Structure 1
């Protein structure tokens, strides 16, 4: 009876030791050496200033739609934006970088699991009979084997887990980078399109002014023939006409360059891409809700990207700390080996198992330097995050200031255009009546043309400032659209299908067939512009009948 009790006590001690070892292993595996992560918390103003009469923003303000460009009311712009979002090469490449980052998450996670494999081989060997010091045995020998191998490294210090978490955060960063690239592409396209329409309006004004100057030159030539005006007036009229024609050519060249940029953004060759010109600059003035400054941290993809980079650097500290502790790995091998093909017999079996431990003792400060570097890198990403936030605040304030001031400036310039047009008509009438000089007429013509062109430039900048403000506010993006940590995994450990293209997460859309975008000879969309059908107000023509002889 005492032997049975003693045996029970021994078994109980062994079971207790085994359970304690297992619990210790679990507790060690859960040890995370990375510092507890807390995103930076900033004290920000309650509302935007914007250097203008803006009301105090509230969280209940209307948010921007993701297709914000439709607010300008231009079907041509809508078609161009849809084409760029679907087929822009830079956007497709950015989406592929996100997929690559997701694959790196799976690669990092694979280190947490045991690695299993098979090995097999066979050889037939013959020794030279006359070799010096040859062993007096068989000249020929054969060997064949197959075996299974397994290895596993327990993640006692969460080094591998922190690598996985860092890779997941890197994938989230790439998703935010894609959102920022998409927003920048859309904003750049809208800015270029508005600039193109501004050039169209300027060209129309130049053509209208050139026609007016040609008639004015004809009048001065008639005045000269009738000895009612000096040759100087003709020279001045010619100079005014030719310089205006040269200025028109310069604007046409700038329009061509801008059109080429739009073609590239929409995945088309400039040679086959042409947008018909219009005479006026007409867009809807979209409402842009600014919200409150604290919400900007959730709306800007570049801020989210900088925050994810900071979270990665925090995990790198834990990885650097884990390098100071011992690492253990387990290995297992089993199979058959024989000098003939009879491998299935038990006598030809073999196995081997064991464990290894490695721990640094002295490496000249290498690991301490790596830990120091990781802390510095974390502080650097924290500084960069703060800089990104400040830059975003500045861009919003710039956008609010520009949209307000340019709107007021455009209203004033429209009044100035009306006044200079009246002055041009009056001075030309006075010259034809012999009361005024042609120098006064020339001065009025120059002032009128410059004012009209400047008004179009101001209007162009006003609409572009709207685009810049929308981009500064995030273009309707929200940080909630980022994929979660678990969604960044592109495949499961036992998944062998659908490897060509993973499921779409985080709003990162990409075509599975990039060859469909390799036709670069696509023409521009045929949708009408917002200004389609609009015409410039005709200028009163100088009347030859009013000349004084």
Structure 2
């Protein structure tokens, strides 16, 4: 038995060895184009907009970590911390990165041999009247017999054309892009929470204005009533005063409704139930408008996670070209199996052994243009990714310039509006004094009251917009994120091929 097995095994081994020797020089081949990250050459030396920011050196950027600390508000700090820990949308976005890493592991697994083991046991019986097997012709043949066996098999697809490696590179770049998109989602949610918080405190400040104004309007109603009762004022004056009071009360109630809706939105962003969440009334005064170091324009490309995601999508599209090109070449696969089979329990003996060694190659000859269409599609996807990258860069610069211009104009507007408040309040007081002295018509008082109220409300609204613009400017320059926060290609691999299996929950908490 040994005489027959060894030569056959030797011949099969020689054939496989010859095949490996022929194709081994191609093992390092990759058909993907050489990828170089895009470079935007027409970058300005500085930003056009001016405002409360610092034109910093390349290494002078927003500090890493909680950027909202720049506003000096402990309540905002707490809400943002709760968002990062419990916001369900952010958690869902983070799971997309976990899934992307597992896709990397799936693609990478094809680089390694696939091993399997099997065992079987069966009891088999045939009919007594099976063709060529009757009791009359061959009574000694058994009608029932057991079959037992076990063995192992191995298969491997050598990556001669780089298809598997390019699939892995595609998955790694896609996972990196997903990580950057998660950072973009986190920054967007943090900005939304901060902006909503500024708006809520702005509404509180507007309510404080209405509280003072309603007190003033009630005094005006009392004055006009006394003058009407004393026959020195008209009923028209009294009704105008009542109208002013009721209109202001209605506007104050509307602000209460807006505040309630904003409070609910903040609760959801912080991962809390709106039914049990509440923020006590506050003011804009504890919120400071920070000085924001925007850096130089060339650094913006390294500080925006959406730009990093777009660049990584280009790298993935480049790797996909290598996958499409590899389809034009033979698909080579090596396989081997070995085991024992017997009709009893004495399996581990050479006469009961069985084995197989082989290699196969599949080369497409004619598929109606399928491979060419796939390659052209991959090139088109790369060009599309490049255009998307350029669009993302341009929009990023637009956002920075918008917020720089807005912060500048709003700072000027706030000073102008403060002057308007002082003048309108003084005019309101003078108009009321003249009216009580009988030297002025109440219509002039009404006009002065409306102007004073609108001026004070506008001042609060401008300060709220200044705070929101500061939030948007911080987000436009990346919120302290940098390309160094992006995981490396190797870091996207969730585990090594030979590793102890853990539960999905353990992997989730890593």
TM-score by length of 2: 0.92
8 Å contact kept, 1:410–1:455: yes
- Spell out, residue by residue over 1:9-57, the C-alpha distance to the aligned partner (whole angstroms, 9 max, x if none): xxxxxxxx99997665342011110001122211211110016697765
Shift in Å, 1:434: 0.6
8 Å contact kept, 1:64–1:288: no
8 Å contact kept, 1:112–1:160: yes
Partner of residue 40, structure 1: 38
Shift in Å, 1:87: 1.4
RMSD between aligned alpha carbons? Answer: 2.1
- Aligned with 2:176 (options 172, 175, 190): 172
- CA distance in structure 1 between the partners assigned to 2:17 and 2:121 by the alignment: 44
Alignment of 1:267-346 (within 5 A): 267-346=271-350
Shift in Å, 1:68: 1.4
- CA distance in structure 2 between the partners assigned to 1:192 and 1:282 by the alignment: 16
Shift in Å, 1:483: 1.3
Partner of residue 59, structure 1: 58
Cα–Cα, structure 1 residues 133 and 438, in superposed 2: closer, same or farther, change >3 Å? farther
- Spell out, residue by residue over 1:145-180, the C-alpha distance to the aligned partner (whole angstroms, 9 max, x if none): 111000001000000001111111111111111211
Cα–Cα, structure 1 residues 153 and 425, in superposed 2: closer, same or farther, change >3 Å? same
Cα–Cα, structure 1 residues 303 and 62, in superposed 2: closer, same or farther, change >3 Å? closer
8 Å contact kept, 1:490–1:502: no
8 Å contact kept, 1:198–1:281: no
- CA distance in structure 1 between the partners assigned to 2:151 and 2:163 by the alignment: 30
Work out the number of aligned pairs and report it. Answer: 490
Shift in Å, 1:245: 0.7
Give the secondary-structure state (helix, strand or coil) at the position aligned to 2:480: coil
Cα–Cα, structure 1 residues 201 and 92, in superposed 2: closer, same or farther, change >3 Å? same
Unaligned runs of 5+ in 1: 1-16, 504-509, 513-549
- Spell out, residue by residue over 1:379-417, the C-alpha distance to the aligned partner (whole angstroms, 9 max, x if none): 001000101001100000001011111011011111111
Determine whether 1:27 maps to 2:15: no
Moved more, 178-187 or 110-119: 178-187
Cα–Cα, structure 1 residues 60 and 128, in superposed 2: closer, same or farther, change >3 Å? closer
- Spell out, residue by residue over 1:330-366, the C-alpha distance to the aligned partner (whole angstroms, 9 max, x if none): 1101101122232122211100110001000000001
Give the secondary-structure state (helix, strand or coil) at the position aligned to 2:293: coil
Alignment of 1:389-468 (within 5 A): 389-468=393-472
8 Å contact kept, 1:281–1:456: no
- Aligned with 2:252 (options 241, 248, 266): 248
Give the secondary-structure state (helix, strand or coil) at the position aligned to 2:367: coil
- CA distance in structure 2 between the partners assigned to 1:244 and 1:274 by the alignment: 25
Moved more, 341-350 or 354-363: 341-350
Determine whether 1:163 maps to 2:161: no
Moved more, 46-55 or 482-491: 46-55
Partner of residue 115, structure 2: 116
TM-score by length of 1: 0.85
- CA distance in structure 1 between the partners assigned to 2:127 and 2:502 by the alignment: 54
Shift in Å, 1:281: 4.2
Cα–Cα, structure 1 residues 502 and 285, in superposed 2: closer, same or farther, change >3 Å? same
Give the secondary-structure state (helix, strand or coil) at the position aligned to 2:275: helix
